[in-house]
Amino acid sequence: MSADVQLENVWVQFGDFVAVREASLTIQGGEFFSFLGPSGCGKTTLLRAISGFQDPSRGRVLIGGQDMAGTGPNQRPTALIFQNLALFPLMSVWENISFALEVKGVGKNQRRKKANELLELVALPGQGDKMVNELSGGQKQRVAVARALCAEPEVLLLDEPLSALDLKLRQHMRTELRVIQQRAGITFIYITHDQGEALTMSDRIAVMRQGVIDQISDGTTVYDHPETAFVASFVGENNFFPGKVSKIVEGIASVETKSGLLQARVSTASPVSSGDEAIVFVRPESIRFSNGEASSNYLEATVTHQEFEGHFWHLVLQTDSGSRIRMSVMNDGDSETQAVGSRISLSFIAQAAVVLAKGELAAE
Amino acid sequence: MMGWLRWFLARNGIALSLYMLGAVALWVIVMIVLPQLFMLDFSFRHNWQQIDPSRMGGPDDVYTFVNYHFLAFGSPNNPDPFNVVDVTVFFRTIVAAVFVTLFDLALCYPIAYYLAQVARGGKARLLVLSLIIPFWVNELLRAFAFRILFGEEGTINAILLSLGILNEPVDFVREDVALYAGLGYAYILLMIFPIYNVVESLDKNQIEAARDLGASWIRIHRRVVFPFAKPGITSGCTMVFMLSAGALAAPQILGGPSSLWFTQIIYQWFNTGSNWPRGSAYAIVLMLTCVLFVLAVMRIFKVKIGEIGR
């Protein structure tokens, strides 16, 4: 069973502070949906509004078409996995997992059986009699998932549950969670500030900024077709060149910037007009070495720093006008390294860059 | 031990070290161990000082169980098979102290939980102040105030009568209600603060997780909060039990005319009875029984002694 979740014009206010502003969206049943945003953007508050720990100041939360106003967290068809997991330290693993059944008055043998099934599901067979503090971080993670699934929720809410794990385990758990979600066939709503998690696992992502949802799309759209300056700068690395739109021809805008005339595609979802203050965004991997001067999208810069990351070289460059550029070069075997201090010419194609209205950028 | 001493001296300097060691030694030896040893010694002696001082230090001044024997069986011409009055009072005191302890636990657990997990900032501070400030009133004054409150002509009777709940006044003092209320009230802080200390360290997410999984408030407390608070509950209960079993002023003032508290009997032996050896024996029996009782209860509830200190 999976239920869809609808937010209708949800606001959450704490005194004068608006934590969530006018959130309206529909999450489909069975979808893996992520809220992505920096800390303090209101995503956890929104999750608490869905789980029932926080009443919205205005608006409605509907789960499976039913208005949840007045329904407490213990009555909702949701289960929440906490950031710190909040496993019960004084209970054994199997008691933790089957707690939702204990609440319903299910007998011990049946609870034990269900706990064992769930331990199989999360790949921890035979660990039921251990105490929680005997488990490793990744194992606790799985127990938390099993405990939530035992409540047979229609919607599983996850509040940055992977943030305490180390990188390798985190990457592994991403795949794992996705598999569990597909096997359980229920709606997952995932909160994270880690764009890698959001991009790899989600069907759709809502990018949040200061209580506002900026964009809702699937991962590739969020990455390739950002609709606001914030989304462009928060999701993935991006170079930005502020300027003024001088003209638009066939979906390609020419923008006067400090670094010269740059051409970039106009976003169809949030187009700019001629004369607007705008920002040109170019991904580091879209910038190429150039061997000849061109009339536009041509930059000259000095290498100030370089990092080697295995499959990529990351170069940090400085243009003559003072802009900082990040550039990624695939380590494909015959790419040459650039010494710090050397001058190089760069270019990018207009289709690989996007121009968006001037707006708030994500903090570095 | 020598290694620790050297480390301690090096760390604090000679003067400070000697002061600290001296103060601790003074406290432990002079204030705790020696007086109790004297009492223990007294409890095994005859009361020659009062009966026949000339026999003190003589061949008759030997160790004896006569005082313990008296507590159990009374005087030689006692017709009963055991010392009915003293033994009954003794057990009634223990049972009453248990009752006071449970009453305090029931009263203080919700308050401690509220303080630790629900109340915030100003409200919490106000509540703590309103718990502490009444204890500026001294014990005797408070006990007499309770007498006025619970007396036959007291405030409570007046209210109940005027509301028509009672037809004729109830003597709460005679019924020992005043005594239990007075004892219970006297030790609430000793129950609240240990529980508060522990519950405050309980992660709020644990409570929310249990609630999210469908648990009612009762189950959340039974399965999550209460087991977590067990060390605090134990230390609170231990203190309240020990102090109520050993209380003197409250039973003296609030106790009904027919109900004695065991401490009052002890007090009588020391004071009006001028029989220190017998008083000591009684006091030691009370102390040992209380200690053994507490240890036994801790055993039943699987609490280790070390957990109390947390």
- Kindly state the average pLDDT of the residues A233-245: 92
B220 is in which domain, residue-wise? 44-308
Contact A243, A229 (CB under 8 A): no
Nearest chain A residue to B229 by CA distance is A90
In order of start, what are the domains of chain A with their CATH numbers? 5-224 (3.40.50.300), 229-357 (2.40.50.140)
Total number of domains in chain B: 1
- Kindly state the average pLDDT of the residues B147-166: 88
Nearest chain B residue to A147 by CA distance is B213
B87 pLDDT band (50/70/90 cuts)?
very high
Give residue B290's pLDDT: 94
β partners of residue A327 = A315
Give residue A308's pLDDT: 86
B308 pLDDT band (50/70/90 cuts)?
low
Q: DSSP letter for A28, please.
A: P
- Kindly state the average pLDDT of the residues A303-314: 87
Picking from A73, A83, A91, the nearest residue to B212 by CB comes out as A73
Q: What is the pLDDT of residues A150-200, one digit of tens each?
A: 998 999 999 988 887 888 888 888 888 888 888 888 999 999 998 888 998
Give residue A135's pLDDT: 92
Distance CA A220, CA A287 (A): 19
Q: Is the pLDDT of residue A229 over 60?
A: yes
Q: Is residue B5 part of a domain?
A: no
Q: Is residue B297 part of a domain?
A: yes
- Kindly state the average pLDDT of the residues A211-239: 93
> Where residue B154 sits, what CATH number does that domain have?
1.10.3720.10
Picking from B206, B214, B228, the nearest residue to A74 by CB comes out as B214
The region of weakest confidence among A159-163, A330-334, B292-296 is A330-334
Which chain B residues have a beta carbon less than 8 Å from that of A100? 213-214
Tokens found for residue A153: 């929720």
Picking from B203, B219, B228, the nearest residue to A90 by CB comes out as B228
C-alpha dihedral (B135, B138, B144, B146), degrees to nearest 10:
10
- Determine the distance in angstroms separating the CA of A203 from the nearest CA of chain B, rounded to an integer: 25
Report chain A residues touching chain B, CB-CB < 8 A: 51-53, 72-75, 78-80, 82-84, 86-88, 90-91, 99-100, 102-104, 147-148, 150-151
- Determine the distance in angstroms separating the CA of A197 from the nearest CA of chain B, rounded to an integer: 23
- Determine the distance in angstroms separating the CA of B196 from the nearest CA of chain A, rounded to an integer: 19
Which chain B residues have a beta carbon less than 8 Å from that of A88? 206, 209-210, 223-224
Report chain B residues touching chain A, CB-CB < 8 A: 203, 205-206, 208-216, 219, 223-224, 227-228
B272 pLDDT band (50/70/90 cuts)?
confident
C-beta atoms of B209 and A84 within 8 A:
no
A338 vs A50, more confident: A50
Give residue A1's pLDDT: 64
Which chain A residues have a beta carbon less than 8 Å from that of B223? 88, 91, 99, 102
**Does the structure's ipTM exceed the value 0.85?**
no
Which chain A residues have a beta carbon less than 8 Å from that of B215? 74, 99, 103
Q: Is residue B18 part of a domain?
A: no
What is the torsional sign of CA A47, B217, A67, A145?
A: positive
Q: Is residue B21 part of a domain?
A: no
- Kindly state the average pLDDT of the residues A71-98: 92
C-beta atoms of A73 and B223 within 8 A:
no
Q: Is residue B138 part of a domain?
A: yes
Q: Is residue B31 part of a domain?
A: no
Q: Is residue B198 part of a domain?
A: yes
Half-sphere exposure of B163 (CA within 13 A, CB side): 8
A270 pLDDT band (50/70/90 cuts)?
confident
Q: Is residue B8 part of a domain?
A: no
Picking from B211, B214, B224, the nearest residue to A88 by CB comes out as B224
Distance CA B195, CA B234 (A): 9
Give residue A294's pLDDT: 66
Q: Is the pLDDT of residue B310 over 60?
A: no
Distance CA B130, CA B124 (A): 10
Contact A54, A48 (CB under 8 A): yes
Nearest chain B residue to A152 by CA distance is B213
- Kindly state the average pLDDT of the residues A68-91: 92
